[in-house]
Amino acid sequence: MRSHAYRLLNVFTRDGERLSGNPLCVFEDGAAFDTQQMQALARQFNLSETTFILPSERASARVRIFTPSYEMPFAGHPTLGTAHVCHALGLGGDALTLEMSAGIIPVHRSGARWTLQANAPQWRELDAPRAELAAALGLAPADLIDRPLWVNVGREQLIVPLASVEAVRRAQPRLEALLRLRSQDGGSMAYLFASYDRATPGKAAAERERLCARFFFPQGPTILEDPATGSAASNLGGWFIAMRDARGLRVEIDQGEQAGRPSRLFLELDAAQRILVSGEVIELGRGTLSL
């Protein structure tokens, strides 16, 4: 048997609280495992994602991301947490690149905060009546505003704007109905958001807008809620690009309250409308596994 080093981190933590944010396990030497073992280890740790660092000829490192059930081409909090570990291992400085199935993702650090630059987005309309979407989310049609869109910066997700933070908190998706809303790769993931500031007119453009968000996805016979979803925050950036001239947008996102893991994410769109998602990363501990 060999010993394999891993690290446990929390990503998108809030106000330095070590047990906030979204948990992540990162194996330092992914080359030691085949795909079947990686999937089995992700099931063993049973976190939302587990990542494996591998050598790359195109970037600072190559990264594979696994949920307990399947491999993912891109995910936000695994990107930032794995970048933190790559930096600690000397694979890159405060700016590095990670090769993923979705492409090369640039990442950089400023203190405890890591920022990723997402791929350029693609989007398409939702092919379902508004009443059907509202029912699938356990809401009324009046709770929906603007246009829900399927957005893809690495994995397609349904981005749904709601009329109020209260509606976001009240949502109770229904499994069978949600499963009928399918992404191009067969997923049924919905990201709901609303602004805390919608009732505040004349908000200065330079101020950071605050949003409340929740992310739901089916797993087996139930629906799970993710405490902090960087891929969905990236897709939200794509939604803003689709809906308006979003250059200079600055958004602070609260997520995870209902999941018992309060989290904070930051979304920015620069002058070129590049999507930047950031958050704090805290390493909790390290260990070895014998296999």
Structure tokens at 255: 């997520």
| H/E element, 235 | helix 230-243
Instruction: Specify whether 49 is catalytic.
Output: yes
Q: Where are the beta strands (DSSP E) in 83-208?
A: 95-100, 103-110, 113-117, 122-125, 149-152, 156-161, 190-195
In DSSP terms, which residues pair with 121 in a beta bridge? none
Counting Cβ atoms within 10 Å, is residue 239 exposed (0-12), middle (13-18) or buried (19+)?
buried
Burial bucket for residue 269 (CB in 10 Å: 0-12, 13-18, 19+) = buried
Q: Which of 28, 49, 99, 156 is catalytic?
A: 49
DSSP-derived 3-state class of residue 227: coil
Q: How many CA atoms lie within 13 A of 209 on its CB side?
A: 25
Q: Is the dihedral of CA 207, 200, 249, 83 positive or negative?
A: positive
* Positions marked catalytic: 49
